[in-house]
């Protein structure tokens, strides 16, 4: 009886140690499944677009990226002497041009 109990405890320790137990405890798997779900919704959103809309989105991305990356539009941030890319300007530009991001 003691042998089986000891063997059972030892087996449980071996199975539950390491990364898998930590990931399970920290909610890694639930976050991972939520991310997969969001990616599916994003893919469905972009796949439903008409070819003309996809082409317009490509053109708008180029224009809005260039606008958000300009030195005068960058956001000053500590540790980045040239500033960082302006995400809010990019999102606003895409919405304004009729192709909002997911």
Summarised one tens digit per residue, pLDDT across range 9-22 is: 877 777 766 666 66
What does the domain layout of the chain look like in residue ranges? 26-96
Higher confidence at residue 72 or residue 56?
Answer: 56
Summarised one tens digit per residue, pLDDT across range 35-62 is: 999 999 999 999 999 999 999 999 999 9
Q: What is the pLDDT of residue 21?
A: 62
Q: What pTM does this model have?
A: 0.61
Q: How far apart are CA 68 and CA 73, in angstroms?
A: 6
Q: Residue 9 region, left (φ>0) first, then alpha (ψ -120 to 50), else beta?
A: alpha
């Amino acid at each position: 009886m003691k042998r089986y109990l000891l063997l059972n405890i030892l087996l449980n320790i071996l199975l539950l140690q390491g990364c898998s137990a930590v990931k399970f405890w920290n909610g890694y798997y639930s976050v991972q499944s939520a991310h997969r779900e969001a990616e599916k919704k994003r893919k469905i959103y972009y796949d439903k677009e008409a070819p003309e809309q996809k082409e317009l989105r490509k053109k708008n991305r180029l224009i809005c990226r260039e606008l958000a990356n300009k030195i005068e539009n960058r956001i000053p941030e500590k540790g980045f002497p040239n500033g960082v890319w302006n995400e809010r300007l990019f999102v606003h530009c895409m919405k304004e041009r009729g192709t909002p991001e997911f």
